[in-house]
Every structure is written in C-alpha cells, then in structure tokens.
Structure 1
C-alpha cells in the first residue's frame, strides 16, 4: 500500500491516528495482510488474490474500532464500527451502501470466548432513525424498548409459549400498563347482537380481537364454540369469533381458549388444527419499532363511527386456495354486504403463487355477486395497463362488484375537495375506480393502542367505511346500489387519475335519498 493510500484509509477511522511507515506484510490463511503500526494502534489491510484491497481494519489500544469491506472493483460495500464500553460490552454498528444510515446495531459481550448478543437496535429502513432496542436474555428477546425522536417512550414485555411469542404487555416509563395483547385468550366477549343493519368481512393478516375499536363489532358464531369440532359444518373449525387459518399447520399452543365465559382452558397443543376460533395476529420481531397488525389497523378504519355494523374477520394464510374457497362459502351463507381486501397478488405467470390461489380468488368474487368488494390499488405508483406484469389482483378484476381504491395524500376526508393523488398510489381510469384518504391515517395498533399508517391498504377500508355508513342510513338499499351511488357522487378532479374520482359521502347520500 502506498503512503498516500494509507493516509486516505486512515482518514476514515473514528479518530485521527498518527501514521508511521512501520508496515509489514504477512500471508495468513493464504490471504495477504499488510499491517501498519500507528501511534496508538494499527491498520490491517487484506487483499484479494489479484492485489485489490478487500478490507481495512482499524485498531486502537489493541481493540478493533472500524472495519471497511470493498468489492474487487474498489467500491466500499459495507462498514462496521465498534464502540467499546466501560462495562466490558461493545456496540457494533453495521452499514451497507449508505454509510450515513446504519443497517443494524447490537450490543455484545464475549462470554467464554463466545460473542453473546445482549441488545439489538432497529432502525427505520428509509430515514435511518432509531425505532427500537430489543433486550435479549439467554438468546430470547424478552423486551422491546420503543424509541421516538431519540426518546424511550414505552416497552413491550413479551409472553412466550415455548419459543413463540403469543402476547405482550406494553409498559410506560413509570411501570404502568398501557396496553396488552394475547393470541389465545379472550378477556370479554363482543357486544354485537347479530341484528346489525350492515354485515362486513375483512380478509387480512390478523386482528386484535380485544381492541376497543373492534370488540363491539365482531360477530359471535354461537353455533361453533371452540371445542375442536366444526359444529356448524362450514369447514372452518371453531370459527367462534371469525377464524385464523394456518396453511401449514405449524402453529400450536400449550393451551387455547375454550369456554370464555367460565375462563376454562382446553385443547392441548398436540391437536393441531388448521383453523382457530380467534382471528389472532402473529407477532414478528423482524421489523423494528412498534408491534403492528395490518388487519387491526384496517378493521378500525372500516368500523370508524359505525353504530350498527358487524364484522366477520378472516385471518391467517389468505393466500391458500382452500381458505379462499371456505371464505367464499361463508360470505355467501352470511349474506355479507361489503368485504375489504387490502392485499394484492401478482399474475400467476410471475410464478410467485399457485394458479389455484388466483382461480379461487376470482371465484370468491364471482360467486358472491351481491357483495361489494373494496380492494386496495397497491403502492407501486404505477399506471395499471392490464398487462400481466403490470397489474395486481384483485385490483385489476373488472367485475361490477369490485371497487378498486387508490389513495390521496390526506389522512382524512376534506371539506374543500382539494385532494391530490398520493405518489405511491397505483392509478388509471381502466382499473382504479375511486380514491380515498390513505396517508398517515390514524387507526388501531395491536395492544389497544393507536398508530398512523400510509398506503392504499388504508384507503380501501376508508372507502368501505363510507359504504357502511350509507348502508346504515339506507338499510333497504342493496350493497350494489350503495356502490353505484358512491361512484355517481364521486368528485371528479384532474389530478386524480381514476374512473370516477374521490368519494363524497354527502353527494352519495343525496343520490340515495333521491331514488
């Protein structure tokens, strides 16, 4: 390495190190190493076989403080920094591509010559802001600290069933519980009577069945209590409060809720059913920040301010063809008015999913012609042109009972009609019917809390919510008549690229009053 190159490499170190030309070359495990001493440390450079620099490691007081890794073309691809703390632990921060935004960070300690992870830091994928710190004990994440604006706001304390998280308590900085969630138990039953004016269904990842925004709307199926038997013969075993479908049958519980009113427990884990009678949300720590639930947020938007609407939630592996068939039968038997589908499947030609999934999704919609399906347009910011690789489903189905919803830049409905199409929203007059607010929309968060999310996944239930409100006002109107009024009453704007425009509750109501 030349003297100038050495100076250049040292400039990237955490501290300015005085340079000495006391360098030596060694071959270690068939790799050339150049070791240069500095005033208070050393710099170790490794080389590829053809002589290009592969990595540069910086040491101070005998401890590594930075490592940079290069491609054979000379571009730096990754970087790691090491901060050695007074308690004997160290912080290791990893960068890739953008060296201003950390990709990951962890606090580790060497125990019996083994590196043990004590904490893992989670960063926002776009901004690089710190969102959470996971506390790990004996290889298990026991706590997640939520960070907002560089401040610790609250913590999740996780509950496990074996090696799987099945719930948590959310605790503020004073030790007060501010929220909780459990997959396999019910603290109180919903208060829905079964006589509501409007029936909706939502197909999504999972739901917080105890969230205050949902609990009073969830429909109770008294004909199929949780006892491991399909008492009502609909193919969905124990769908007491909706259903969770486990495609692979790999989820199990030591105990699962049985007789809710008595607090009894039943059904041992060796009876692995494909369906569970609670439409629970699985809990994953793969993403940093707050523990989210797409379905819970979507449901809260669909149910906002509704007084006489019941919900049948379908959770779990909705990409399974068999589940879609069972859902279709349930929608028909229950005479569901509106269904929300805030998900997208690609064309089967991509090879990303079985053709049977799309076939059964299509059949689900066709076999329920009196039910209106509100579906998310998707968040690719693309014009749907109908080609197999530039369309999503069910958004690109052209059935009369499918309403594809794009998103505006708004978090709620406006009074001035000055809407703008969100840049992330898919669009196009051929396939996107209506637009609704979908940007930073406040809704329910798992654990009886609140959060703001962005996407056409939010716009679709916002649209369904308007349909349900209209149906509550005009219970004798069919779901299709409600849909037609929403399309006729939509506000046409040049900046909104859709067939009808932005939904207007007032215009739709006036149309329904006149017919």
Structure 2
C-alpha cells in the first residue's frame, strides 16, 4: 500500500482515490458503536484477534481450535483476523484468547450506527463558519477565519481521506476535487481487473468501498459523507455553490457505512489503515461513539504506525463530559496524532449537543447550521460534531500544505495552541479553531515564547469635498507587535438598505516585532456606518480582540 497520490485531475475524467469520510450516519452527527457483534451469523459473535508477529499458519489454527473459534477472514491490518464463536461462548472464547501468550488483543467486533440527527436551517448566512459577519443570532468573527488562512495556504498538494458513507463523483462542486491513484490510472488500468499497485485492492483508482468491497465508493442514499467532503474541498471561485476550507486539497473517499446506516469497527480499522498507508496526511473521521477501550487501543496502534498523518475524529453529540463519563472512540484513542473535535455555534458557544471535556476533547469547531454539498448536486444545512470535524481536517490540510515536514502530532499541537479561547468550550485548548492564526504563527511545537500584542486603532480619513464626490474615503489600522511574531486580522461589515449585515473586506497582515504597523483597507468606503472587528494574534495563540464602529461622512 505504499504509493503516492496525485492531487491533480486528468483532463476528461473525474478521478478519486481511496478514502471516504467515515462519518457515520447519512445526516449529521457522529455514529455510536453498539455492543453487539456486527454482521455475524445468527447465534454467533465475531471477534477481532490481533496475533503476535510471525505466528505460523498451524499455530494460528491451533489457537482458534483452543478457543472454539472459526476463521472468518483476515484483515488488511498486520497480524489481524476475524473469528466467529457461538454467542453463548463469546466470553469464554475471549478469555481463552486473551490468556494465550501469542495473542496481543482480542475484542468483540462492534457495530457502528448513526446517532441522533438534526437538520439545521442556514439562518445565519451561507458560510458563517468561514467568515461570520455577525448580525441577528450570530457573533461577529465567530468563525475559523478561512480567508486569513488562505493568504498562506489553500491545501495544495495534500490528500485528505474521508472515511464515511460514500461520495457523489458528479456533484458540480466536487467532481474535480478528488485525488488520483496514479498506479491504478491511465492506459486502461482503471478497469483492467489487475491490482497494479499490489495493495490488495483491485482498480482502486478513485477510492474504495469497504462495504461492498469494490472500487466505487459512491452512494445514492446517504449524503453524510458528501456533506463532509464539501466542507473540506468544495471548489473555490467556480461560481457554483460553496467553498471548502481547503479547496486546493484533494479528497480520498472511502465508504465504510452501508445503506442501512451501519458499519463495523473491523471495517473502520481496515479502511483507516489503508488510507494512512496510501499516504493521506489527514484522515477525517466524522463518526464514533462509546466502545470497548480495546478498540480504542487498536485504533491507536494504527495511528502510531503512521506518525505523519493526523486523524481527526468527532467528540459525539450527547452533551456529555467525557472526562467523567463514557469513552468515545476513535476520538479518545490514546495517540498523540488523534485530534478530538467538539462543535461550536455561530454565537461562539459550545453547541448544546456537543460532548466536551478538559482532558478528552481537544478543541471546538463550527458544527451548527453548516451548509455544504448534498446528494443530487444539491446543498443542505446540517448540525453535529460530524460537521465540525471537517473544518479541523481542512485546517490541518492547510498546515501540511504550508509545511509538509510536519508530523501528525505537530499539526495537532499547532491547531490546539492557536485557538480563540472561549468560556464554556471545555477542552484541552479551551477554545474554537482559528485557522488563520495557526497558519500565520510560527509552529507551536517549536516552543516560541508568547508575545504581548497591543490593540489596534482605527483611523478614518476623508479627502472628499464637494468638488470630488467620488473620492476615496480611507480607513487604516495601526497596531504594534510584541516580543514574537504577531498577526493582525480585521473584518469590516456594514448594513445594506434592507438592514442585513454584509461583509466589506477581510484580511490578515503580519506585525513586525515591537514596531508599529499601519495597513490601509483595500476598498472604497461609501458614506455610512461601519463595524470593524480586530484581532491581534501572537505565537502559541495569545490574542487580543476588539470591535470598533466608525462612520464615513458624505
């Protein structure tokens, strides 16, 4: 499975690679993992068994016989297989397997099911999560500041695997956004029936369906994965629909949830191993739920084998403090390159459904009333931590695009260190994702000190006279950097004739150390009242914010 994926698109084709957002349900939230065995025959329970390395075939058969287990299939995970036992002997078989010195781990193969779902109404504006202009029911600048991040990177050269319900390759906002497996494409290799790259997946040029075990990860019933895909990579500037947070990254779709809204942990683990081995730098996992901690350990082992990849997972939608309650996996898998994401609202508060925890959840991201791509070439608004995860995945793609040498652990640390701290967002970081500050700041893992940053001043000047009625009315900002690198982000809004809040301009500039910097707004300002949100950010996430009003007179 060692191969490199191209992030371009061949002329005349729609190409994907393997990896779909494992989002769980077709609607919004993340999935829960049921305790019963998944897909086993009636009266049987299936177990995941992880053996010690270099166990001979005869030794494996003897091990199964001692436990009274029948072989079902091997997993695409080193030394792992599925075995089946009578339901009445499941606990005894687990005890036998776990006591055997040749077994590393044995656990029931649990089912993945969708959690409760809600459909949001996009009442706060189409893409408030990227740029939030404020207004009724929304807080100005309560966003991830995508335009500020795009000044540094847009995701070019990065593959994001989306492990989910499947994709729609013909959606006009997605059809050119998929990664290509070059080893399985060109000269008829897409359909030659040969495993050209030797990874065990035949003709996997556009992703893989781990449910039906074929090379077409498309779905016509469950749009959860399509929604997640759009939030990450929907095309930018094409005059259609929306824009993803990392529009120049490419998606690797993988289907692990069937049309019955169910999947298994064994399939999830297989798919995660496959896309990480294929070179995906980010794996989006908009799914999860309470599960046996041993399954979390299995996931952590996969993450540890792929240190250059960041695995981004949903915290869940049960309004629980995960520090004192049940464990949610894969979000809480004990690995330094797994990022656990809760959901925030357009008012910069924790979404009431989102799980939280000062040790369990890493950060929050927009997850309420999120507009994105939907089946049938449409768009829809959904709620859930499933919707928050792709914003963090996209921000990670921007980081890897800026600095490909980052490890998954370092990318996680950078995103955590550069949040906008908000009360009520109980998490490791204590705040909401801020992609612009993460992209503009030196990497947190380098250990730079925290600078002080002085608030900016708004200076408005007008050279207009009755003889020059169409002159430029200028506004400028003045701010001073502190003891380290700093950035100044500002957003200007006004109200139109109908009273709606509209964005005028949004930009991020760098501040020099201990030097006053003046920046002029790059727009003409007609007479009227304006509101400007200013945020100055330093290394490791320290920031100051202010909102000012000013008037340009006729």
Q: Could you state the TM-score of these two structures normalised by the residue count of structure 1? A: 0.49
**Larger radius of gyration, structure 1 or 2?**
1
Structure with a larger share of its residues in strand:
1
Between Structure 1 and Structure 2, the one with more helix by share is 2
